[in-house]
Chain A
Amino acid sequence: MTEKLMFQNAPHVRQSESVRTMMTDVVIALLPIYLMGFFYYGARALMLGLCGVLSCVGFSAIGSLALREKFSFDLTPVITGLIIPLLMPADIRYFVIIAACAVAIFVVKVPFGGTGNNLFNPAAVGFASAAICWPGMVFSYPAPIQSLEIFGESATKIAQSPAYSLALGAVPEYEVLDMVLGNVPGPMGATNIFVAAACGIFLIVRKAVNWITPASFIIPYALLSAFFPRIEASSFDSLCYELFSGTVIFGAFFMLSEPVTSPKRDFGKFLAGITSAAAVFLFRYFGGFEMGFASALIVMNVFSPVFDRICEDILHVYRHKDSLLRKKEQNPEKEEKKEKAPALKIFKKAEKKAEIPEDEEIINVSLINTPGEELVPEEKEEPFEPEEKAEESEKEEAVQ
């Protein structure tokens, strides 16, 4: 008999589409942004993308070789390799991209178990590590509409991106229309607000991205920046400047709504969206870097299991609401007594468990023992961890 239940991590897809078509949609949606990059900065934009993709795929092949696993090609490293250059200036050197891709694959993806298991967004971590290491290179941008040399460095650099002047507390000197069209110095792909939003809507229509996450992120973020402006401007201007500078729109569609690292239920996605809006706003308000989005996203990835847990609890109460009420109506007094008594018993048991006999247990500083590892040095009187005891006795038997 075959097993009826299969355990599998996200992304879960319930249509005739597979994970592969979903990922292909994301890749297709990223290509127009590269075309805009080609329009503004010349062929170097495409070369950067190619470099990112090749290094990501190569690194994941090396990773699976090192772990002695079979390398199965999927499109997630391609997406990571396409996103990382879009967050950087167009005249970034190639080795920065390669280093960021190496961090994204070797630190975030391979140790956690590959596709579907990464707890953090690889592109966000790769970009953040590169930004921390070479802030001078990553945060100084070339002027748009010039064709850069494919290899070698370009001469003119402008540090005054809109996000930078916002961080200094000054009003950006660019018009809103230019910012929407991407005609301002900034990250290669993320400045093209219009194209990024169009591609995001394409993803939503294709159902590769749930609409809840970007909506519940962008709307609260816009409201926050309208009500608490960082600069001396009207609230509408502040809203436009905050929303269209940096990587907010691009990140909301392509990074925040990644199915693996975001919560699974709709309500959880809603919660995560609102909280990450607040986090991004705080990080940009108080942070030392202008890369508020990436680091806020990493922090929010930590909380997505918490949101999942909250959703499950709420749903449980909601589903069993009727039966719980019915029981209480039938015999309210008995129910209360019943509820109280076992709770007290459990409490007493917990107290008993918490009693730590003198001296014992403390040595067990070694963390999170995995089966088969003797992390605990010389400890035979272990009252509270019967599994280890069993293992030890097994070993003793084996020795005898």
Chain B
Amino acid sequence: MTYIAQFFSMMLTALFIENIIFTRAVGTSWLFYLVKRPKEIIRYTLVLAAVVTLSGAIGYPVRGLIHDTQYRHVLVPVMYIGILALVYIVVYFFVKKVLPGQFEHFGMNLGVGVFNCAALGSLLIPAGARLDFISTIGYGIGMSFGFGFAVVIMGYGLTRLEYCHVPKAFRGVPIALIYLGLLSLAFYGLVGHQLPT
């Protein structure tokens, strides 16, 4: 029971208070890619959650061996990218053999779905904070769904922006960045005054 409570509290923390986009600023370019394709959001969020859970579970025992060494700043990311590569190969052939219909939809795009900052960030942040196994999994899942939540919020905002008389120099990337900055300011008020690590 305590494990379940721990799991959900970590998940909600990662979803709202330490949202991957708004307070950690991880995976923004991937967010801007998905905002343009509303139909793909659910699918890629699920893929992200699955990949993060799987690689978090594989990486947890290995992480214990290396996170006290001197070169952990390099070893931990390299290890996690290796694990992501393994997971990618497994998922790729799994989808190709078992779900050929899905493979037609996003076969090659799976590479971008697995190797992105959101996935690696959701693995590295709990590794840096040295959370235990349950928390690591809960945090990863929360981060993935927080990512989907952020994409939906940004999508609504950007559709509303189309009705504004935005000056010419600010159209496109600049106004989206300023909008994102103001949103993360609002979430920062919730967290309080502390820098994310």
Closest Cβ–Cβ distance, residue A228 to chain B (whole Å): 18
Q: Is the beta-carbon distance between B186 and A298 smaller than 8 angstroms?
A: yes
> Please, what's the 1-or-0 string for A262-303, where 1 marks a CB less than 8 Å from any CB in chain B?
000000000000000000000100111101101110110011
Residues of A with C-beta under 8 A to B189: 128, 131-132, 283, 287, 289, 291-292, 294-296, 298
A369 to B158, CA, bound (A): 12
Q: Which of A106-125 contact B (CB under 8 A)?
A: 107-108, 110-114, 117, 119-120, 125
Nearest neighbor of A305 in chain B, beta-carbon distance: B160
- Docked pose: A359 CA to B111 CA in angstroms: 10
Q: How far is the CB of A367 from chain B (nearest CB, A)?
A: 4
**A132 near B157: Cβ-Cβ < 8 Å:** no
In the bound complex, do residue B156 and residue A302 qualify as a contact, i.e. CB atoms below 8 Å apart? yes
Whether, in the assembled complex, A317 has its beta carbon less than 8 Å from a beta carbon of chain B, the answer is: no
Beyond A128-B189, A306-B156, whether A367 also contacts B173 by CB under 8 A is yes
A107 with B172, Cβ < 8 A, contacts A354-B105, A355-B104, A359-B108 known: no
Binding site secondary structure of chain A: loop
A233 an interface residue at 8 Å Cβ cutoff?
no
Cβ of B3 under 8 Å from chain A: no
Closest Cβ of chain A to B190, distance in Å, is 5
Among B30, B108, B153, which residue has the most Cβ atoms of chain A within 10 A? B108
Q: Which residues of A contact B156 (CB under 8 A)?
A: 302-303, 305-306
B69 contacts the other chain (CB 8 A): no
Contact indicator B32/A365 (Cβ below 8 Å): yes
Q: Which of B109, B157, B170 contacts A119 (CB 8 A)?
A: B157
Using a CB-CB cutoff of 8 Å, which residues 98-140 of chain B contact chain A? 104-109, 112
- Contact indicator B157/A117 (Cβ below 8 Å): no
> Known: A294-B189, A368-B36. Contact between A117 and B165, CB under 8 A?
yes
- Chain B residues with Cβ below 8 Å from A291 are 189
Question: Cα distance A366–B173 when bound, in Å?
Answer: 8
Contact: A362 with B109, CB < 8 Å? Answer: yes
Q: Choose among A110, A125, A288, A296 the residue that contacts B182 (Cβ–Cβ < 8 A).
A: A125
Instruction: Knowing A302-B153, A305-B156 are in contact, say whether A368-B33 is a contact too (CB < 8 A).
Output: no
Q: Mark B180-197, 1 if CB is under 8 A from A, else 0.
A: 011101111111111000
Looking at chain A, what size class is its interface with the partner chain?
Answer: 35 or more
Complex CA gap A318/B164 in Å reads: 29
Nearest residue (CB) in B for A373 is B172
Q: How many A-B residue pairs have CB under 8 A?
A: 138
Q: Which residues of chain A are near B30, meaning CB under 8 Å?
A: 365
Cβ of A210 under 8 Å from chain B: no
Given contacts A111-B166, A129-B185, contact A370 B172 (CB under 8 A): yes
Minimum C-beta distance from B108 to chain A (A): 5
A368 to B108, CA, bound (A): 23
Let me know if B165 and A368 touch, CB within 8 A: no
Q: Are B176 and A368 in contact (CB under 8 A)?
A: yes
A354 touches B39 (CB 8 A): yes
- The residue in chain B whose Cβ has the minimal distance to the Cβ of A298 is B186
Q: Mark A336-379, 1 if CB is under 8 A from B, else 0.
A: 00000000000000100011101101101111111001010000
CA distance A158 to B178 in the complex (A): 36
Q: Which residues of B contact A129 (CB under 8 A)?
A: 185
Q: Evaluate contact between A288 and B191: CB separation under 8 angstroms.
A: yes
User: Which of A9, A108, A302: most chain B CB closer than 10 A?
Assistant: A302
Residues of A within 8 A of B187 (CB): 295, 299
Residue of A nearest to B111 (CB): A362
CB-based contact A132/B183 at 8 Å: no
Most chain B Cβ neighbours within 10 Å, of A69, A110, A358: A358
Chain A interface residues (CB < 8 Å from chain B) = 9, 67, 69, 107-108, 110-114, 117, 119-120, 125, 128-129, 131-132, 135, 283, 286-289, 291-292, 294-296, 298-299, 302-303, 305-306, 350, 354-356, 358-359, 361-362, 364-370, 373, 375
Q: 8 closest pairs, A vs B, by CB? A: A288-B192, A295-B189, A367-B32, A298-B186, A113-B165, A305-B160, A117-B164, A370-B172
Pairs across A and B, CB under 8 Å, 30 listed? A67-B169, A69-B167, A112-B161, A112-B166, A112-B175, A114-B165, A117-B164, A117-B165, A119-B179, A120-B182, A128-B186, A131-B189, A288-B192, A295-B185, A295-B188, A295-B190, A298-B182, A302-B156, A302-B183, A305-B157, A305-B159, A364-B33, A364-B36, A365-B30, A365-B33, A366-B32, A367-B172, A368-B173, A370-B171, A370-B172
Instruction: List 16 other contacts, CB 8 Å, given A112-B166, A367-B176.
Output: A9-B164, A107-B178, A113-B165, A113-B166, A113-B167, A119-B164, A289-B189, A289-B192, A298-B183, A356-B105, A358-B108, A361-B109, A362-B109, A368-B32, A368-B176, A370-B171
